[in-house]
Amino acid sequence: MGVAGAGKTTVGRRLAETIHADFVDADDFHPPANIEKMSHGLALSDDDRGPWLDALSRAIDEWLRTGRRVVLACSALKAKYRVALRRDPQRVLFVYLKVSPEVARERVARRAAHFMRGDLVENQFDTLEEPGGAIVVDGSQTPEEIIGRLLPLLPADR
């Protein structure tokens, strides 16, 4: 979890490969109206995020029910979003990729084809409620360094 530009997708994909899990991007659960809004530089409201959180919650329930191992890249910026997504506290783990606004802005500016515009990065930091109970990692490190830091902290069955 973390703001846009924290490295959620890059690290998430590599971590999933490393631990033999599936990778899923929470952005794929946004309804078209949310994507359209963000692509125009407009921040989403909690009401906008409701259907997205509902769809993610249903997916997480299904993954837990079927035993599917998933690394989910998800912003989950507010505590109430994380509460909604932590369907089973024993089996759902949050990793917070913490970066500075400068790192996030620079990374988002380099993206060629993504709906998240750079002008929304500041809004993400304004919205962010840093998580308690998450593994906190310096997201400015290389993906290899981050994964090396995470692997000893992950239970073998996750």
Mean pLDDT, each 10-residue run in order, the chain (158 residues): 95 98 96 87 88 97 97 96 94 96 90 58 91 95 97 79
154 backbone dihedrals φ, ψ, rounded to 5°:
-90, 130
Distance CA 158, CA 156 (A): 6
pLDDT score of 41: 77
The tokens for 106 are 């620079």
pLDDT score of 112: 57
Question: Are the C-beta atoms of residues 74 and 28 closer than 8 Å to each other?
Answer: no
pLDDT score of 44: 85
Domain edges within the chain? 8-153
Distance CA 26, CA 122 (A): 20
Which superfamily is assigned to 8-153 in CATH? P-loop containing nucleotide triphosphate hydrolases (3.40.50.300)
pLDDT score of 110: 82
Question: At 111, which amino acid appears?
Answer: R
